[in-house]
Each structure stands twice: as C-alpha cells, then as structure tokens.
Amino acid sequence: MSSAEAVLERLERQAVVPVLRSRDAEDAVATAQACRRGGMEVIELTYSIPEVERAVAELAADEDVVVGVGTVVEPAQVRTSVELGAQFIVSFGFDPDVVAAAVELGVAVIPGALTPSEVLACHRAGASAVKLFPARLIEPSYLGDLTAVMPGLKLMVTGGVPANVEGIRPWLEAGAIAIGVGSALGSVAADGADEVERRARELVGVRAST
C-alpha cells in the first residue's frame, strides 16, 4: 500500500475531517489539538490561515497526526506543504499542475469538482479522491450517480454539511469516504478548547453508527 493509499484509508476510517480556517496559526494549532483530544487524527489546515506553514510544521511533528493542507492553488504550495510534513493536499477546484505536483511527491491529492465533467477530469489526472464542493448544491444520491459511471471513484464531500451525526450520516451512506467540516466545528478562540473537543468526539464515531 502506498503512503497516499494509507492516508486515504485513515481518512475514510475517521470519516469526518476538520477543515480549519482559523484566524491565525496559534488558534489553528490549538483547535487541531482539541480535535486530536476528541479522537480526530486526520486534520486539514487551509492556506487561508495566516502563517499556515508554521502550524503545519508544528502539528506534523506529532507522528500520530495526519496533516493535510487545503485551499491549495499553486504547485509551489504543494511542495512547501509536503516539505513541512503534510501528507495530503486538498483544493476547492481542479488545477492539473497542483495534482501533478502532489502525485510526483507521492502524497494523496483531493481536488475539488462539482459537475461530472470536472469529476472525470480530476479522476483522469490521477487524483486520489475528488472533493465535491460545495455540497449544499447537491443531494447525497448524486454520489451514486457518479460512482455508477466511474467505478472506483472515491468522493469526499465538503461545503454546507451540518456538523452533526444526522447531517453527516446520509452522505456516508451514499458512499462518501469522508465529510469535511469547517466553521461548524468551531475554534478554540471562538468556542473554547473543551467545546471543540466535545464536538469532535461527537462526530468521530459516526462511521461506526452508520
């Protein structure tokens, strides 16, 4: 099993991935650590976080944490993220150069798409999985429509999925390997570490209950 496949396996096992868009690197690290205490080992930090590289390096130092970097739009960001310890790359759209850079470096890459043509382009380019974004524009049944014509396609869903078991379960039942949860999960700066940990703990077991 390649390292990219191993990362996807852990992502699928966790089922819910926190997508952090914190106000600064310190809050990103604190929020990620709260999620970690809540049982989440796979965590995505986004390039919208000021000085995100510092947060990636700090979190990646923990060998038990799988750190991904999202909102990646340039191949240079891929290389920097991987050098700092990131094990998967995520984007809201499809850039073939970003996918190619991640494939070359041997890390999992999950570009964003919405239409069948966009999903097919990501799949053909070598994406490890495809992120359907924004999920608020589609229904869970759409995943089955795509996998019926693209067997072996792995789909992640992000953007508008409620951060609760009832909101997440239909997407997992429809075949999503994971759900990305952003602002609804909260942050330490806004909600406190205990609350973030509680929310993470509530969501981390949703795969087992599906």
**The two three-digit tokens of residue 189, written as one number:** 């700066």
**The two three-digit tokens of residue 73, written as one number:** 């739009």
How far is it, in rounded angstroms, from Cα 118 to Cα 124?
10
Pairing of strands 108-110, 130-132: unpaired
How far is it, in rounded angstroms, from Cα 85 to Cα 124?
26
Catalytic residue among 53, 58, 131, 197: 131
- 131 part of the active site: yes
Catalytic residue among 44, 53, 58, 197: 44
> DSSP letter at 144?
H
How far is it, in rounded angstroms, from Cα 159 to Cα 64?
27
- One-character DSSP codes across 70-101: ES--SHHHHHHHHHTT--EEE-SS--HHHHHH
Q: Is 87:95 a contact under the CB 8 Å cutoff? A: no
Name every residue whose Cβ is closer than 8 Å to that of residue 140 and which is 6 or more positions away in sequence. 170, 171, 173, 174, 176
- 74 part of the active site: no
Q: Which residues are catalytic?
A: 44, 131
